Amino acid sequence: MRFLNLVTRRFIPPHGKGLEYAARAVTAGLLLGLGAAILVGIFGRPGSSGQAIDLVARQPAAGGWSRDRIVVSQGDRVRLRIRAEDVVHGFAIGRLGVDAGPVEPGKTVTVEFVADRPGEFTFYCTEWCDPNHPRMRGVLEVRGAGESAAPAGAPAPASDVTLQHLDDPRDTGIVPPDFPSAMRGLPPYGQGCASCHGAQGEGTDWAAAIGRREFLFSRSPVEVFRMLAGMKLPDGSTRVGAHGQNVAKRSKAATPHAPYARGWSDQERWDVVAALWSFATAADRIDLGRRLFQRNCAACHGEGGRGDGPGGRSQPKKPADFTDARRMLAGTGELYTAKIRRGGMGTGMPYWGSIFSEEELSALVDYVWTFALTAPLRN
Amino acid sequence: MSTRMAPRPPGATMRLELTRWSLLRNFLRQRALNWVVMTSSFAALLLAIAAGVLGTAAGSANFGIVFVWIVWWGLLMGVLLPLGGRLWCFICPIPAPGEWLQRRAIVDPPVNGKAPALLAIDGSNRSSDRERISVGWRWPKPLRGIWLQNAGFLGVALFSTVILTRPSVTGWVLLAFLGASVGMAMLFERRTFCRYVCPVGGFIGLYALTAPVELRVRDPLICQDHRTKDCYLGNAAGYGCPWLEQPWTMERNASCGLCGECLRTCTKDNVAVNLRLPGSDLLVAHGWKLDEAYKAFIMLACAAIYPVVFLGPWGWLKEWANLDTVSGFTIYALGFLLLNLVAVPAVHLGTAALTRWVSDLQEIPLRRLFVALAYALVPLGLAAWMAFTVSLVFANLSYALPVLSDPFGWGWDLVGTRAAAWAPMLTGWVPSVQAALLIVGLVASIVAADGILRKIHGGQATIRGLAIQAFVLTAEAALFLWLYLGAAA
């Protein structure tokens, strides 16, 4: 009371006229109004519908996402209010098909979706924001009905993760004289192969579908080249295993393919290989792969896939050069899928298995082939 | 208290008294005018502090950064300072709460026509000590002048890359200014903070010398016969000069905050606001002081450093200035301080010595010439700052629209402008405007140098001395032209 009296005596003017009181009222109102506005801003805006979850994006060096785990229930309509604090960030949950697009500094982007599947889904930044950008990730945990604890955890590893040869050195031993061209490969393929394997490698009753992903997935381009050239494969044979199996089903002896490619130059053989790989994909898949690559990979691997992206400079190991035919053409789609899914294990490359769907992984690998094998398709 | 009266300023006939129009005079005398202006800016200041401390860390989306360092700075350097001198000090909200507390009133004039003791020179016959809130000390004599303001400005300028780009730092710095002004108002008389401490007030006072507006007494002789000195002590119509100025001796804009109290308190209707030839105050010889000379050097040096750091292509330098590494910043800080406090003054000292030698001015102490000729740098310095401001404001002013709607960067859309896109304005004109400003500044500086040399030389022209000055000023202007139109373009 004494303090109140002191304040009253000191600050309430005994001589106050109307204007003075009005001025004090307006000044006090301004202060209170501003304070109230700030409180409203901090504790939630009136009129916002649904429960919004605020997510602040900062460069990984400054802390990354403000939350590294968001827990919702299955069936919830999730409303995320994403704000970038420093540079342009992006937000996506690959396996749920959620993409908020770029979030400019100081701007807030709201994205809404229904969490219709239980599980853990990785959300991640989709814009190159920092040398550690690939590590700017978090987990959206969608709990099923009645679940109170975290679900089983990460999805079961795909079978290819167990491949033992994932990090083995690869070397074709043979280099195409010129960049393989699917377009150039079409005429020799048409003359020598189409009559048995179909015009687009789709297979016939008596010959394998050699232009399909299922066939090519576990084969490297150099294997197919060697087979066409009559060279011995690492197992000592001169034929492609699945082809032989397919033929064997029809009770025919497996046929070495070199005779069919007789008279072809090495370049023509590589061109036919490129044609086979181009049969196994499609323009829309290449386009999807290109978008994924540019958004997520180009910063380190470079837009041209040469491993010369600016982000690669800060990695412990130089990113892979996809234009290095000697190395690239010795690998298989299966191998590259596994590497993307698993990550680089010490090379600095993050794992993408929890982010990309199988379709996205497949499209990305198709696009990666274009750097060494199927470039014409990009045009 | 000095009883010296201001002589009739030279070129008095070139003045146009604005307050002879009763409408304007009566408007300026309204007590509520200061409150309306200061309260509005005070609200903006509080919003800037709150947004800086609590809002988004993205400067381009934070009211604190956009409205302080783009809108306010552009308004100050582009309009208020060159056209109105210390007009900003009339608007400035930072001294507002301290002054309101000192006076125990926001609008009202002093109680019963008496100023509170702290505003009175004698203290005893004005109001009782019981009513004091502030201690009301006088500012120590050794600290008078603008040396502290020079140091404060150097400190702010040295860390400007951090302050200008990080909203939270801007918020805390503004809060510190506000706290310091309130604290000093509780300890010292009137606007001691504004006059002797405010880092911004120092350069505003210096560049206000060039302004085409002034507040002066009409006839100093009337003041001589007026014993009560209401303009300094206050009366029922208003408070004694908050800036501790004695209007009847005032010949320069440097320390007049244009608050208008003397317009209200003068019972002889002897105070006027005039339009005059820009730069008149630069030639007021008894105002030439070493602290202001150093302010001129500091402002000139910073006007060269800012475009290099903020607009130039030298990323490594920006990283140093941005405190990315301690070693880098240490090198930057040493270079910054050396350039401001040693290199530019040394060049100027050499120029002054050469001028003295070729002009046969050996009877003039070098120190006096050194200080006096520093005032010739003022127009060029102001022009360089305006040129820097042009590039800053034209490119970034459009950030103000979204920030108006969303001052904290929290996703608000208060006035429907949140989605307004950043759109640089008139950027094609920037180089031309900058070049024009620098050329005008150079010409004004050469004219000022001529006036100063004539003043020192008893009214006679010193062609050789002026040639030296013109050469050096031209070289400095050329450096600025290169910085703005070449290196940083």
Q: What predicted TM-score, i.e. pTM, was given to this entire model?
A: 0.73
Q: DSSP label at B253?
A: S
On whether the CB atoms of residues B457 and B358 are closer than 8 A, the answer is no
* Mean pLDDT (whole number) for A277-292: 91
Higher-confidence residue of A1 and B185: namely: B185
Other CB atoms closer than 10 Å to residue A40's CB: what's the count? 13
Specify the pLDDT at position B137: 92
pLDDT greater than 60 at residue B126: no
Tokens 């608007």, residue located: B91
Q: How many contacts does A have with B, using Cβ atoms within 8 A?
A: 81
Task: Determine the residue among A6, A21, A30, A59 to mutate to test chain B binding: the one whose Cβ has the most chain B Cβ atoms within 10 Å.
Answer: A30
Answer with the residue of higher pLDDT: B49 or A357: B49
Q: pLDDT value at position A153?
A: 44
pLDDT for the residue numbered B194: 97
Angle between helix axes B377-396 and B463-481 (nearest 10 degrees) is 20
pLDDT of residue B8: 53
Instruction: Band the pLDDT of A6: cuts 50, 70, 90.
Output: low
C-alpha B450/C-alpha B446 separation (Å) is: 6
Chain A residue numbers with beta carbons less than 8 Å from the beta carbon of B62 are: 106
- Residue-averaged pLDDT of chain A: 79
Q: A48: pLDDT confidence band, cut at 50, 70 and 90? A: very low
Best-predicted range by mean pLDDT (A66-70, A248-252, A313-317):
A66-70
Amino acid at A16: G
User: Which residue has better confidence, B118 or B336?
Assistant: B336
What pLDDT digit, counting tens, does each position of A92-138 carry?
Answer: 998 888 999 899 888 888 899 998 888 888 899 988 888 788 888 89
pLDDT tens profile A140-167: 999 887 665 444 444 544 555 455 566 7
Confidence of residue B7 (pLDDT cuts 50, 70, 90): low
How are strands ordered across the β-sheet holding B16-17?
B16-17, B271-275, B213-217
* pLDDT for the residue numbered A50: 52
| Rounded Cα distance, A345 and A361, in Å | 18
Q: Which of B47, B54, B410 sits opposite A108 (nearest CB)?
A: B410
**Residue in B47, B406, B409 nearest the CB of A34:** B47
Residues in chain B closer than 8 A to A58 (CB atoms):
57
A282 and chain B in contact, CB less than 8 A: no
The tokens of A39 are what?
């409180």
ipTM score: 0.79
pLDDT per residue as tens digits for the range A235-254: 555 554 434 343 333 333 34
Residue B342 has pLDDT above 70, yes or no: yes
User: Searching chain B, which residue's CA lies closest to the CA of residue A55?
Assistant: B410
Give me the pLDDT at residue A152, please.
44
In whole angstroms, what is the distance from residue B349 CA to residue B132 CA? Answer: 48
Residue B10 tokens, joined: 């030279």
Residues of chain A found within 8 Å of residue B411, distances taken between Cβ atoms: 45, 81, 83, 108, 110
Tens of pLDDT, residue by residue over B292-319, are 999 999 999 999 999 899 888 888 999 9
